[in-house]
Every structure is written in structure tokens, then in C-alpha cells.
């Protein structure tokens, strides 16, 4: 869990996590320098639950993307899930995703990932859409390959479960990668990894105005959900012209290398 000024909703998220039917997990938290009571709330749960670990941020504020990636790099585990600070997970989320992942029959050398549908809710958990995929006319069945799924960004980080190999191939992180979920997904695709999905919503994705910056579109959650549909439009067209996500991945990495080379000249 990557956190930042999340005191308003983090309790509900933590409660939903501890209400999961699958209980063999550890919550690792990295806070990005919250100015509110986020950390004290987490610490209060930590006193009651042995499976919460707070990672020292060493005084570094990294932003939502690299906060998640720094946390991911720090943790050693066979399976990983990203968790936002202000959503609510439905009770069977972890259990259902693990079952879907096991059906992929991934060995330790193969990157594997599962993602799910979600429900959109307002800040009071009133349902705005019972199915995010239906609201945007998306079905994971319509593609013959993982190519467009990975790029357009229907794979939201808070619904993902992936294995250690998927984590390993996600480092180093290209400078121009837009968000953590997009980056992990495209790395799995490029490595010919196995991908599965759960079509029924497994969580409540909270949309609100007070998230991180006070504006949903520019907030941590808004960025994660909306970056695919706005900021990446021209890059998507480039990928379409190239004909493959692999080509676009190479473009992103090359762009990052060129930028770093210019800095060193």
C-alpha cells in the first residue's frame, strides 16, 4: 500500500483488507510524507495485527508512481498486489484472484498476472457504476492478444495480482513510464507472460475530490485511472502505427536512455 494524506478513507480500506476470506498475507506500507494522521492510523492497526509492516521512506517524497515501485522493489514475496489507500475490497478479492492466478499454471520462470473488474463508487460508497468495464464498453474477451489491453490501461493497479518474476522484469523502471500498473502490465506482455482476469468486480473504486491534490483528474487515483484516456493518446497512436506493444516498450526505454545521456553530456 502506497499512502499519502489518506486519513479520511484509509480505515475503511484496512477494514476491508482484514475482512478478506483469504488471510495468509502481509501488508507492506510506504508513506510518501503524509502531513495528516495517515501513519498514526496505520500504526493503530499495526498494534492489533501482526501482518502490517511499515517501510521507512528515508524522507523521500517520490509521487504515486515511484512510491508504489519503491515499495515493490523493497518487498520479497512470491505474489504481489497493489492496494490504494481509499478503496474498499470485497471479501473474496484475494481468494478469487489467487484462484485465477493458479489457473494460469505459471512456473517460477514465467511472468504471470491477473486483473479484475471493479465497481465505481463516490466518496460515500454510493455506486456510480456496477461494472467499470461495462461503463467503458470493454470486455477482455474481445482481443486476440494482450497487446491492446496492456497499453490502453484497462488493467488498473488496485485489481492486479502478479508473481515474483513479473516484479523482477519490471526493473529498472523506464523514466517515461506513466504509472506503476501500466508499466508492470506492459513488461509482462513484452516477456510473453501469462495473463488472466476475473470478470466480476472484486472491489469498490472510490472516486472523490479530496484525493492527494483535491482534484480527481490530477489526483493519485485520478491519474491512475485517467492517464490512459488523456495523456497517452498520442503515444497510443504511435503504438498502433508500430503494430506492437513491444515496439512501444522499446520506444519508451530508448526515450529514457536518450534523456539520461543528454543529462550526462
What is the β-pairing status of strands 79-81 and 88-89? unpaired
d(Cα 81, Cα 84) in Å, to the nearest integer? Answer: 10
Task: Please give the model's pTM, rounded to 2 decimal places.
Answer: 0.82
Is the separation of the CB atoms in 160 and 181 below 8 Å? yes
Residue 31's nearest CA partner among 47, 52, 48 is 52
* Tens-digit pLDDT profile for residues 154-208: 789 999 999 999 999 999 998 878 899 999 998 998 899 999 999 999 999 999 8
Q: If pLDDT is split at 50, 70 and 90, which confidence band does 251 have?
A: low
pLDDT on residue 149: 59
246: which residues sit within 8 A by CB, 6+ positions away?
Answer: 189, 190
* Tens-digit pLDDT profile for residues 44-76: 999 999 999 999 999 999 999 999 999 999 999
Q: At what angle do helices 233-242 and 245-264 cross, to 10 degrees?
A: 120
The arithmetic mean of pLDDT across residues 226-239, rounded, is 47
Amino acid at each position: 500500500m502506497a499512502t499519502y494524506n489518506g486519513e479520511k478513507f484509509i480505515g475503511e480500506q484496512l477494514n476491508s483488507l482484514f475482512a478478506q476470506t483469504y488471510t495468509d498475507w502481509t501488508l507492506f506500507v510506504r508513506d510518501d510524507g503524509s502531513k495528516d494522521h495517515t501513519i498514526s492510523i496505520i500504526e493503530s492497526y499495526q498494534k492489533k495485527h501482526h501482518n502490517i509492516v511499515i517501510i521507512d521512506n528515508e524522507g523521500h517524497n517520490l509521487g504515486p508512481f515511484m512510491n508504489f515501485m519503491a515499495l515493490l522493489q523493497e518487498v520479497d514475496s512470491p505474489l504481489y498486489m497493489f492496494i490504494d489507500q481509499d478503496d474498499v475490497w470485497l471479501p473474496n478479492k484475494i481468494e478469487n484472484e489467487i484462484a485465477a492466478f493458479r489457473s494460469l499454471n505459471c512456473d517460477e520462470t514465467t511472468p504471470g498476472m491477473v486483473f479484475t473488474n471493479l465497481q465505481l463508487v463516490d466518496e460515500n460508497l454510493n455506486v456510480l457504476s456496477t461494472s467499470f468495464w461495462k461503463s467503458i464498453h470493454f470486455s477482455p474477451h474481445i482481443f486476440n492478444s494482450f497487446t491492446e489491453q496492456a497499453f490502453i490501461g484497462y488493467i488498473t493497479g488496485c485489481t492486479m495480482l502478479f508473481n515474483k518474476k513479473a516484479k523482477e522484469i519490471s526493473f529498472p523502471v523506464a523514466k517515461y513510464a506513466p504509472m506503476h500498473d501500466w508499466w508492470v502490465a506492459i513488461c509482462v506482455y513484452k516477456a510473453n507472460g501469462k495473463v488472466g482476469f476475473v470478470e466480476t468486480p472484486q472491489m469498490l473504486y472510490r472516486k472523490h475530490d479530496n484525493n492527494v491534490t483535491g482534484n480527481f483528474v490530477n489526483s493519485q487515483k485520478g491519474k491512475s485511472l485517467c492517464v490512459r484516456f488523456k495523456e497517452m493518446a498520442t503515444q497510443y497512436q504511435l503504438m498502433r502505427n508500430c503494430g506492437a506493444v513491444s515496439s512501444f516498450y522499446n520506444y519508451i526505454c530508448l526515450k529514457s536512455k536518450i534523456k539520461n545521456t543528454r543529462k550526462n553530456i
